[in-house]
Amino acid sequence: MSVPAKQGRITPKRIRSMKDGQPIVCLTAYTTPMARLLDAHCDLLLVGDSLGMVLYGMETTVSVTLDMMIAHGRAVMRGVKNACVVVDMPFGSYQESREVAFRNAVRLLQETGCDAVKLEGGEEMAETIAFLTTRGVPVLGHIGLMPQQVHTAGGYRSVGHSDEESAKLRRDASAIGSSGAFAVVIEGTVETLARELTAQVEVPTIGIGASSACDGQILVSDDMLGLFNDFTPRFVKRYDELGQRVRKAAEDYAREVRARQFPGPEHTFKRRS
């Protein structure tokens, strides 16, 4: 007996199969309305811990908590029908032990309904990723520039400019590629190395500041929309200037209120009969 096929979200397994095919299209989303707008055009939506900087004005992503990621993961899930939804594990929620990582990853899956989690780390996190994936938690890796390591790295700096850094990134890509992760984000590295890593690892690479050689691309939506203007990494392309448009709309509104031009008759309730 056959049942009607229900069109669901793209699965991590399907993303895994997109190596060497059409580029994988990914963006971040933190809220229901933005998720609704982006969903149809994306293969994967990431509830990134970048929300700490973009939505909450934090200096780094280090202060973002699991409760914040759960609240925004739930909001995004309400808006998505098509894309695979991945939620970032925040700093401190997975580094201590593979058991702690599993417990917190399960909280994200159970309390948000998302499809997978992402965590930052190379060789040193491969064992944790294997522990999670063999127990039913799909994991997206994240190597290269790892924002949660800002304090030990001494800032947000692209990597792979020296032989030592390149060798480390090759070991990281190899370890994460064979850890059970369904794909790996590569952030902030040079084109030649990104191309080499993409050829080297068996799972898709999703680049951010890692050239066009990756199997997919991701950007912070607020960056490409011109909504976040505190800083603009070199790898961001502005597809719109929504920040300027918001400022202009607020300006127009303020002028009209002060001139008593808004609200007009068409915005005003009149007593019926």
Binding residues for 3-methyl-2-oxobutanoate: 49-50, 88, 118
Q: Is 205 in the site for ligand KIV (CB under 6 A)?
A: no
Q: For residue 261, what are the CA distances in angstroms to 213, 253, 255?
A: 53, 9, 8
Rounded to 5°, angle at Cα 259 from 255 and 262: 80
Q: 56: buried, middle or exposed (CB in 10 Å: 19+, 13-18, 0-12)? A: exposed
Binding mask 81-100 for ligand KIV (x = CB under 6 A): -------x------------
How far is it, in rounded angstroms, from Cα 117 to Cα 140?
6
Catalytic status, residue 187: yes
Q: Which residue among the candidates 187, 196, 202, 266 is catalytic per the annotation?
A: 187
Partner touching 169 among Mg ion, ligand KIV, ligand MHF, none, CB below 5 to 8 Å by kind: none
CB of 50 to Mg ion, least distance (A): 5
**Stretches 31-39, 42-50, 199-207, 209-217: which one binds Mg ion (CB under 5 A)?**
42-50
Cβ nearer to ligand KIV, comparing 60 with 82? 60
DSSP type of residue 147: G
C-beta neighbour count of 168 within 10 angstroms: 16
Q: Is residue 190 left, alpha or beta, with left meaning phi > 0 and alpha meaning psi from -120 to 50?
A: beta
Residues acting as catalytic residues = 187
Q: Which residues contact ligand MHF by CB under 6 A?
A: 50, 53-54, 61, 147, 156-158, 220, 222-223, 228, 231, 233-234
